[in-house]
Structure 1
Amino acid sequence: MNRGRWHLRVGSIVFAWLAALVGIALVHRSVPVSGWLLVHLLGLGAAGNAILIWSRHFADALLRRPPDPSRAGQAWALAVFNIGAVAVVAGMIVGFWPAVLTGGIAVAAVALAHAATLLRQLRSALPSRFGDTVRYYIAAAALLSVGAGLGVAMANATLPGALHDRFIIAHAAVNLFGFVGLTVLGTLVTLWPTMLRTRMADGVEVAARRGLPALVAGLAAVVSGALAGSPAFTAAGALGYLAATAYVLWPHLDEVRRKRPSSFATLSVLSGVVWLLGSLSYAVVAFATAPTWPAVLDRAGPLTVVVLAGFLVQVLLGALSYLTTIVVGGRAAAIAATTELERGAPWRLAVANSALLLCVLPTPSLLRVAASVLVLIAYTTFLPLLARAIWQARKHRDTPSKQGPPPAGPSVRYRLGVAAAGVGVVVLTAAAAVAADPAAVGIATGPQASVTATGQTTEVEVHVEGMRYVPDTIDVPAGNRLVVTLVNTGADRHDLVLANGTRTGRLAPGESAVLEAGVIGADVDGWCSVAGHRQMGMTLAVRAVGAEAHTGQHDDGGVASIGADDIARSLTAHPGAGFAPHDPVLAAATPDHRVTLSVTETEQEVSPGITQRLWTFGGSAPGPTLRGKVGDVFEITLVNDGTIGHSIDFHAGALAPDGPMRTIQPGERLVYRFTAPRAGVWLYHCATMPMSVHIANGMFGAVVIDPPDLAPVDREYLMVQSEFYLGPPGGEVDAAKVAADTQDLVVFNGYANQYDHAPLTANVGERVRIWVLAAGPNRGSSFHVVGGQFDTVWAEGDYRLRPGPGGAQSLGLSAAQGGFVELSFDEPGHYPFVTHAMVDAERGAHGIIRVG
């Protein structure tokens, strides 16, 4: 197989990983561990394959070794690497650690074999001017094996939480700045002047040779600092790596001065390198000023976006763009491919980089979402252009080459105009986002806007104690400008929102932010916007001293909750086409009770035409049902993929709550192990305050522990009753309704009247067992089957009724209690089941058993 055919064939692997990345990005809200998945589809899948393919190609070229004609060894290595990568991804999605372990071993083995092959070639080759580039590749491949090991360890539920938190930074640093960063810096030695079509600058080789040990030393310091949990030592290592990177890149500036980048390939790579330097600079400052290790983890979030979307994607797309034109074969084919890949290049680059800047700056969430969509569009367009480029190259492969210079591209003025149009799209999108939510950027009207400014500033520092701001009242002379420094000295994430539209971002424990409240001309209310925190007392009053009393501002900036008429119409409506009810069948117990529960935020329909943004365990409300026997050991790994702190409390276990029930912040995880000592249908729920709000917004589920004498039945169903306190359409729970105990819906298994539309089934004479759990957070249940009588009732660990002359008409449960009933049906028909608190049945706690 010749060079061109080989690279086009294996390049399709990179293309497939990039296509999968785009697909997941479009539906990431409904995919488990979506954040992790996006990172690894790009870093492990697309970038990993590209590095293995092209570092071998460049090593052969630099060492003047002919490639293996059959390329069988490379093909097998790539096959094993991709099988391992797929196993890692699949194992993480389904929570099966042995698959992650097997895949991680395969990835590490291929990386070590790749490093060994390059080392052997380097030692056996004649002295080469560019042997140092190959040394970069060897170090990078060796570091990938280390990064894979750290990743496998992190996926293991037995890893202590504190150690897992330290592994996060170490794993990311080794893979991104070691495997990817060293490969890029080593390749630029020869590739960058080649792409620019200029001679290599003086000092490039020397800088590369001397810089490699310094880069490895800086990276080692970062990893050591991370494993030790030391923000200062980690920052020192990042500073060393930044200095070494700048030293290696400095001589290349001469090449840029002599030949300005103008193609998509060169501008994309240059943009990526700039983002790399910027991300490293941010890391140094952010880590050095972080008061605690959790604060380091929180600040690493924006860094991940910058390194991946700014550095890695742009370098990868730029390199692929240039290298594709090299391997397609023939001058005419290369020109045709280049023409396709250059289509809209200035627009794509301008949109990607300016929108990415909005994503990483402290902008309102709606603006960040809009900007991230633009970034995705700009990058995604590369894939169809790449496919067209290869197709056009094949069409022109046999076209005779014309003599003379290649066709001139668009003029500089034209490219600048197209780039300006791209920036204009971003500006217009930002303006639309601001128009949709002007308060998010502090645009206010009314009394505040008309007050006469005094020119003086009032500065106040506010701390957090529990669920209070200290101080919670600020006196400001009317006309003074107010500056508030919020220091989160609490144990959870908090922010501060003022009714005039100004706000801080959400702060992790230990972080602080400055809120520029503007000129104060009237009383202004403030609060924490995390759901439920305001109702628990996190409010702040800004009093304008000397202002007229009637000019106060008390608008909470909210959107009206769903109205009573809309709810009434929904309860009599039918779900749309494709409605799938929550499966009511209680599955048999499994021997393995190791489960990963990811906290996700997802918009779901809770009644026909009514959607809410729920916080869920495992993507559904109620969360997955667990079932076992007395004495079984359960090991639950909780992963917080949400945007605020969450926790979990299993009533089925009996242990001190201090550790396993602690609140974990976004991106963190904990392992909760308990032995089930007693039978029951037990509630599990989020225990983060306010607990009522977290449960009401979907964070609950059931654990069924069978009584030892449980007899077999023909059918088993589970009904988890809960309430909804509806916020605005598509919004989160209305915490004020929760506090007032005014429910909008009462439902079985998370959806109003769903078993009216998809009835439970049974046959005449069959014995049916129905488990019931009252999840609340506030309402109990009086479970009743219309037309049926229970001959067995079991509640809260004991039988209240066994088969005999007596019967029962309902199973009465308070909030957080559970049990089961058994009955059979003597004739066919439709038997409604309800909670006999009839107002709750009429709010949606209603279903049908269809007996045939």
Structure 2
Amino acid sequence: MRPWHLRTGSIVFAWLLALFAVAVAGRSAPDSYWLLVHLLALGAGSNAILIWSWYFTESVLRLPHQADRRSQAARLALFNSGAAAVVVGYSLGHTSASSWWPVVLGGGLASGTAIVWHAVALLHRFRTSLPSRFGPMVRYYIASGCCLPIGIGLGIAMAAGALPGTWHARFLVAHAAVNVLGWIGLAVLGTLVTLWPTMLHTRMADGVEKAAARGLFVLPAGVAVIAGGALGGLRPLAGAGVLLYLAAVVLVLRPHVDEARRKPPVSFPTLSALSGVAWLIGTLIALAVSLFAGPDWHTAGERLRTLAIPFAVGFLGQVLFGALSYLLPVVLGRRPSATQAATAMLDRAGGARVVATNAALLLCVLPVPDAVRWTCGAVVVVSMSALVPLTIAAVVATHRAEDVPVDRTRAPTRVRPPEIGAGQRAGRASIGLVAVVLAVVAGVAWDPAAAHSGAAPPGTTAGHDTAAQDRAAQDNPRPRVDMSPRDPALPPVGPASVHTVDIAHGSPAPVLHGRPGDTFVVTVKGAHSGACRFGGLATDSVRTEPDATIYRLTALGGGAGLYRCRNGAEGPDDFGGTDETGAIVVNPPGLAPVAREYLLVESTSSARGSAAFNSVPNQYDRQTIDVNTRDRVRIWVVDAGPDADLSFHVVGGQFGTVFAGGRYLLRPDNPEHGGSQVLALAPGQGGFVDLPFPEPGTYQFLDHVMVNGDRGAHGTIRVRN
């Protein structure tokens, strides 16, 4: 049995290694957020469920563990080939212009087929085996296996990218409910019925089996109500489904409280599993609140995205790691001494690891500065990835213990682990807390501006109050930037071909808006040295006067770009400052008419740790952009840098036209009938997108380079009938 579990266990750890690699790479990996969740849930977690649900089924039905290994190996091979295709196809499709959706479709079908095969095999073994006390718990695994193929189908539909209006957000909620609460949640809760008292080394509490049997009817009903409410567009119904599922979780787990009272959890496996269940309950409450209190499906989808990490890492990751830390010594050790050696190895620094993981993860989801979130995230990665080297060390310890000759002339003695007092446990746990405190200090030291600026959890925005803006202005040697709200509406182009524009230092820079061949007469007033750069405009003449410099410029081709004017009081290479940088918009010939037209210029400041559209961070969260349904809207976007790429995204929107770099990347009449989700720009580049808003609601727009989105490059479009 041991070689089999070593081989299958290596599959789980291969997915975990890929997960940790993406976590270390951070946002340099394509769509790292999606990868983190799916490498853990679809990769490591689903493989663990496939392996151990079969193992527990054989155990509770009292069947031999060596039977039907070939079929199980075939299912694992089919599932992993499909899961790998989904991950690779989605990642490459996210970064490539070509379509990788057929790869995602094929991988999803392969994975779903393997799960259906697994569920049918479990049902066959359950029906053909002799009755046993815990045999009904196998129904949890069968019900779990019925959920994932449905969730995979919803995921494939979202990957196709053709869902209009609020359908993407609604599919996302249904997808998460069926996969996380159905496939993973049912399997975990069914396993804990027998595994939790076994891990605690205590007798099972009264009423556990009856509560589990009742919960098996309510839990799938909760999943069905959530998914049905989401697909039907009924947020209160979906929220009621979450509360129903939460009530069932409490019903199933309530008898286990007595077991924890009799034998408090002190080892890493029990503490990790207990922490995972706490995260499950907390995130279910947060999800219910977001569905009931959120204004629309787009907001609910964004809030679900912020809950994905607590669900995946807090709940699934910790329950998975706790269960593996307990089960691996059991199946690897052939002698009690070997099992105890492996258990002791996997329990090393257990309290510190659990405390560090949970404290750091809690800070990651709270409104803390971005730099602090990154350092706390590093603590989570380090504390959880410690399982991999500890597992290798446990395997080595197992082999060494089994190599020791057995003295058969003596009666075997049970080796008991040394008792650890409450004071020692508290001291070891405090090490994890100290690590998190040091991470917070390191985050503030890494980005001192974070010490006096708010930050928001992933997927939301930070509020910048006037005092914080004043401090940022005092830290900047440039004159104070005017922080009054900016109207994002793009000024229309008049009928004249000559445009007169005045630029005054210290005031918001005006937009140069015209057509190819138009002339701009630009007067730059104030303390400028005459060094202005106008991207995409030909300089016909420059005339210097005592208090101004006058430029005569000609627009060459259609597109969007920047002009920058240097303040004479600053250094020779110091261009920037949002009050000295303006946009140039030249309409390409034959530009289609739209109902409304807006301009967003993004600028970033690493010194301040902020990013902004039109100079003021988060201003369009407070002053929303209001449009009407069925209006076709054009949004011009310019990346002022100075050195950060921009990926403009409207949550719930679908771009029918994309123009960047002086050419159309997508038109409404394209033969592929394709749409786009982002407008990607390098520093200094500009372009525009056109999109309709067919349904009323609140649509968030942001820089999908999330560090900039979190720092203030974020806003809201409010659509009304």
Same structural fold, with TM-score higher than 0.5 when normalized by the shorter chain: yes
The answer as to 2:338 corresponding to 1:357 is no
Q: Residue type of the partner of 2:19?
A: L
Shift of residue 146, structure 1, vs aligned partner: 0.7
User: Partner residue of 2:464?
Assistant: 497
Q: 1:443 to 1:80 in 2, by over 3 A?
A: closer
Q: Residue type of the partner of 1:65?
A: L
The 10-residue stretch of structure 1 (50-59 or 656-665) with the greater mean CA deviation from structure 2: 656-665
Give CA-to-partner distance per residue, 1:295-314, whole Å, 9 cap, x none. 11122122112111111110
The 10-residue stretch of structure 1 (365-374 or 210-219) with the greater mean CA deviation from structure 2: 365-374
**Which of the residues 195, 215, 222 maps onto 1:218?**
222
The answer as to 2:281 corresponding to 1:277 is yes
Give CA-to-partner distance per residue, 1:387-445, whole Å, 9 cap, x none. 1111221222233575124221543322210111211221233244346666656589x
User: Partner residue of 2:561?
Assistant: none
Q: 1:154 to 1:412 in 2, by over 3 A?
A: same
Q: Residue type of the partner of 1:682?
A: R
Shift of residue 134, structure 1, vs aligned partner: 0.5
Q: Residue type of the partner of 1:101?
A: L
Q: 1:214 to 1:500 in 2, by over 3 A?
A: same
User: Partner residue of 2:177?
Assistant: 173
Q: Residue type of the partner of 1:59?
A: T
- CA distance, structure 1, for counterparts of residue 210 and residue 358 of structure 2: 32
User: Partner residue of 2:34?
Assistant: 36
- Is contact 2:86–2:103 with CA below 8 Å preserved after alignment? yes
Give CA-to-partner distance per residue, 1:769-791, whole Å, 9 cap, x none. xxxxxxxxxxxxxxxxxxxxxxx
- Is contact 1:441–1:501 with CA below 8 Å preserved after alignment? no
- CA distance, structure 1, for counterparts of residue 570 and residue 309 of structure 2: 39
- CA distance, structure 1, for counterparts of residue 291 and residue 648 of structure 2: 18
Match runs of 1:802-817 below 5 Å? none
- CA distance, structure 1, for counterparts of residue 350 and residue 122 of structure 2: 35
- CA distance, structure 2, for counterparts of residue 439 and residue 496 of structure 1: 14
**Which of the residues 167, 190, 196 maps onto 2:194?**
190
CA RMSD of aligned residues (A): 4.4
Q: 1:138 to 1:285 in 2, by over 3 A?
A: same
Match runs of 1:94-109 below 5 Å? 94-95=92-93, 96-109=100-113
**Which of the residues 91, 102, 115 maps onto 1:111?**
115
Q: Which structure shows the bigger proportion of residues in helix conformation?
A: 2
User: Partner residue of 1:707?
Assistant: none
- CA distance, structure 2, for counterparts of residue 418 and residue 90 of structure 1: 41
- Is contact 1:170–1:222 with CA below 8 Å preserved after alignment? yes
Q: 1:536 to 1:224 in 2, by over 3 A?
A: farther
The answer as to 2:663 corresponding to 1:682 is yes
- Is contact 1:358–1:368 with CA below 8 Å preserved after alignment? yes
User: Partner residue of 1:313?
Assistant: 317
- CA distance, structure 2, for counterparts of residue 379 and residue 603 of structure 1: 33
Match runs of 1:704-743 below 5 Å? none
Give CA-to-partner distance per residue, 1:431-490, whole Å, 9 cap, x none. 44346666656589xxxxxxxxxxxxxxxxxxxxxxxxxxxxxxxxxxxxxxxxxxxxxx
User: Partner residue of 1:45?
Assistant: 43
Shift of residue 660, structure 1, vs aligned partner: 8.9
The answer as to 2:340 corresponding to 1:335 is yes
The answer as to 2:384 corresponding to 1:379 is yes
User: Partner residue of 1:91?
Assistant: 89
The answer as to 2:632 corresponding to 1:658 is yes
Q: 1:357 to 1:203 in 2, by over 3 A?
A: same
Shift of residue 345, structure 1, vs aligned partner: 1.2
Q: 1:103 to 1:604 in 2, by over 3 A?
A: farther
The answer as to 2:433 corresponding to 1:423 is yes
Shift of residue 385, structure 1, vs aligned partner: 0.9
**Which of the residues 48, 62, 74 maps onto 2:60?**
62
Match runs of 1:114-513 below 5 Å? 114-329=118-333, 330-399=335-404, 403-434=413-444, 440=450, 442=452, 496-501=463-468
Q: 1:494 to 1:26 in 2, by over 3 A?
A: closer
- CA distance, structure 1, for counterparts of residue 24 and residue 680 of structure 2: 29
- CA distance, structure 2, for counterparts of residue 156 and residue 48 of structure 1: 23
- Is contact 2:169–2:300 with CA below 8 Å preserved after alignment? no
- Is contact 1:272–1:313 with CA below 8 Å preserved after alignment? yes
Report the number of matched residues. 537
Instruction: Tell me the TM-score normalised to structure 1 length.
Output: 0.57
- CA distance, structure 2, for counterparts of residue 251 and residue 424 of structure 1: 34
Q: Residue type of the partner of 2:416?
A: P
Secondary structure of the equivalent of 2:176? helix
- CA distance, structure 2, for counterparts of residue 524 and residue 603 of structure 1: 14
User: Partner residue of 1:592?
Assistant: none
Q: Residue type of the partner of 1:190?
A: T
Secondary structure of the equivalent of 2:402? coil
- Is contact 1:154–1:164 with CA below 8 Å preserved after alignment? yes
- CA distance, structure 2, for counterparts of residue 193 and residue 371 of structure 1: 32
User: Partner residue of 1:740?
Assistant: none
- CA distance, structure 2, for counterparts of residue 82 and residue 396 of structure 1: 34
The 10-residue stretch of structure 1 (163-172 or 389-398) with the greater mean CA deviation from structure 2: 389-398
- CA distance, structure 1, for counterparts of residue 258 and residue 127 of structure 2: 32
- CA distance, structure 2, for counterparts of residue 21 and residue 526 of structure 1: 42
- Is contact 2:658–2:666 with CA below 8 Å preserved after alignment? no
Give CA-to-partner distance per residue, 1:550-594, whole Å, 9 cap, x none. xxxxxxxxxx999755679xxxxxxxxxxxxxxxxxxxxxxxxxx
Shift of residue 318, structure 1, vs aligned partner: 0.4
User: Partner residue of 1:80?
Assistant: 78
User: Partner residue of 1:11?
Assistant: 9
- Is contact 1:265–1:317 with CA below 8 Å preserved after alignment? yes
Give CA-to-partner distance per residue, 1:762-821, whole Å, 9 cap, x none. xxxxxxxxxxxxxxxxxxxxxxxxxxxxxxxxxxxxxxxxxxxxxxxxxxxxxxxxxxxx
Shift of residue 17, structure 1, vs aligned partner: 0.2
Secondary structure of the equivalent of 2:632? coil
- CA distance, structure 1, for counterparts of residue 132 and residue 119 of structure 2: 18
Give CA-to-partner distance per residue, 1:725-753, whole Å, 9 cap, x none. xxxxx999x99xxxxxxxxxxxxxxxxxx
Name stretches of at least 5 consecutive residues in structure 2 with no aligned partner.
94-99, 407-411, 471-479, 491-506, 511-565, 576-601, 613-619, 622-629, 638-646, 668-677, 690-706, 713-721
Q: Residue type of the partner of 1:364?
A: P
Q: Residue type of the partner of 2:429?
A: A
- CA distance, structure 2, for counterparts of residue 326 and residue 283 of structure 1: 36
The 10-residue stretch of structure 1 (380-389 or 250-259) with the greater mean CA deviation from structure 2: 380-389
Instruction: Tell me the TM-score normalised to structure 2 length.
Output: 0.67
Q: 1:673 to 1:438 in 2, by over 3 A?
A: closer
Q: 1:127 to 1:699 in 2, by over 3 A?
A: farther
Name stretches of at least 5 consecutive residues in structure 1 with no aligned partner.
445-491, 504-522, 538-559, 569-600, 616-643, 646-655, 703-729, 736-852
- CA distance, structure 2, for counterparts of residue 602 and residue 51 of structure 1: 46
- CA distance, structure 1, for counterparts of residue 142 and residue 322 of structure 2: 23
- CA distance, structure 2, for counterparts of residue 278 and residue 332 of structure 1: 39
User: Partner residue of 2:550?
Assistant: none
Q: Residue type of the partner of 2:213?
A: R
- CA distance, structure 2, for counterparts of residue 204 and residue 404 of structure 1: 30
Q: Residue type of the partner of 2:329?
A: T
- CA distance, structure 2, for counterparts of residue 137 and residue 390 of structure 1: 29
